[in-house]
């Protein structure tokens, strides 16, 4: 089957969101342009890494190209929730980031999880072979807004246990630092 690369230039919105309750959330990245909506499933850690790497890329671009980095507390899009129903086109395996200096855009590429190892050469390339991909072109301000909001989505989960850093349920958890004894949420 031929590889499909879904391209979104200047999307109306690009966001990370979840479905479900903390401790049982599913994470998605969703991009929309007009009536066209495209969603991919991913892991919480992937959202956190993407937000972190975007922040690093924005800082590096600002330094190297003497561009003013957008403020992280910009207003941005007021729409924070996923458009439902969410039908993930694929689960994200490999992620890639790039800076297009000619167009002054950040490029985010999300490749479908694949049983075959994905080489660096396939990321941001329009080849016939390889996993399906979602490619999103963002301004620095849009990338900054995405990173800030993605960090909020990730941090909205269960708080970490102060002893072991594992997620702490409202009723507590079995803490490995207490040799298997129950640690209450308020303890």
By DSSP bridging, strand 133-138 and strand 5-9 are: parallel
Angle, CA of 123, 60 and 27, to the nearest 5°: 50
**More confident site: 167 or 69:** 167
The Cα 117–Cα 179 span in angstroms is 39
Q: Which residue has the tokens 């031929």?
A: 2
* Tokens at 11, concatenated: 């999307």
Instruction: Give me the phi and psi of 138, to 5 degrees please.
Output: -130, 150
15 burial type by CB count under 10 A (0-12 exposed, 13-18 middle, 19+ buried):
buried
Q: What tokens were used for 99?
A: 């800076």
Query: How far is the C-alpha of 129 from the C-alpha of 105, rounded, in Å?
Result: 26
Q: How confident is the model at residue 186 (pLDDT cuts 50, 70, 90)?
A: low
**CA atoms lying within 13 Å on the CB side of residue 17:** 19
Confidence of residue 105 (pLDDT cuts 50, 70, 90): very high
Q: What would the pLDDT profile of 121-149 be if each residue is shown by its tens digit? A: 666 677 777 899 999 999 999 999 999 99
Query: Can you give the pLDDT at residue 57?
Result: 95
Kindly list the structural domains of the chain, giving each domain's residue range(s) and its CATH number in brackets, ordered by start.
5-156 (3.30.2450), 159-187 (no CATH)
Higher pLDDT, 117 or 123: 117
Exposure string over 43-52, b if 16+ CB within 10 A, otherwise e? eeebbbebbe
Q: Write down the pTM of the prediction.
A: 0.81
For 68-103, the DSSP string reads: PPPPTT----S--S--SS--EEEEEEEEEEEEETTT
Place of tokens 């000619």: 102
């Amino acid at each position: 089957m031929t590889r499909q690369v879904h391209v979104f230039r200047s999307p109306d919105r690009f966001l990370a969101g979840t479905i479900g309750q903390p401790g049982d959330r599913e994470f998605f990245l969703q991009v929309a342009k007009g009536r066209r909506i495209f969603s991919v499933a991913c892991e919480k850690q992937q959202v956190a890494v993407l937000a972190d790497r975007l922040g690093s890329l924005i800082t590096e671009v600002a330094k190297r190209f003497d561009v003013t980095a957008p403020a992280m507390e910009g207003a941005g899009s007021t729409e924070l929730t996923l458009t439902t129903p969410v039908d993930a086109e694929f689960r994200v395996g490999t992620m890639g980031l790039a800076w297009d200096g000619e167009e002054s855009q950040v490029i985010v590429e999300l490749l479908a999880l694949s049983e075959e190892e994905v080489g660096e050469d396939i990321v941001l390339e329009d080849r016939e072979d390889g996993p399906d991909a979602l490619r999103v072109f963002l301004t620095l301000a849009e990338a900054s807004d995405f990173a800030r909001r993605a960090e909020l989505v990730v941090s909205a989960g269960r708080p970490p246990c102060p002893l072991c850093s594992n997620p702490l349920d409202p009723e507590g958890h079995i803490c490995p630092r207490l040799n298997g004894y129950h640690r209450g949420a308020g303890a």
